Amino acid sequence: MGKKRRGRDRPVVCISCGRSVPRTKAVAFEKRSRYSTDLKGKEEDITMFSSAEVYYCISCAKHRKITQKKKKMLERKRERGDREWMK
């Protein structure tokens, strides 16, 4: 039988300070970036979006107030979901 890794989490690296943190304790945050190519003119303007999931340790997340941002984002999602449900 193979090795079971019950009770052990894969460590992730904090994007801010570089600390190694278990995945269950780390705060996951979706970082969004926007790229635009407006070199020739507005007719050929292309905007691209990309997102990446980054992890912060608890102390960095508190310092950067990411936990508060996540609360507000979840509240907005709930409000949007309730409105769509009522229609």
Kindly state the percentage of the chain with pLDDT values over 70.
Answer: 78
pLDDT band at 86 (very low <50, low <70, confident <90, very high): very low
For the chain, domain boundaries: 11-86
Tens digit of pLDDT for each residue in 37-62?
766 666 667 778 899 999 999 999 99
pLDDT band at 87 (very low <50, low <70, confident <90, very high): very low
Residue 19 has pLDDT above 60, yes or no: yes
pTM: 0.63
Secondary structure (H, E, C), 36-78 = EECCCCHHHCEEEEEEEEEEECHHHHHHCCHHHHHHHHHHHHH
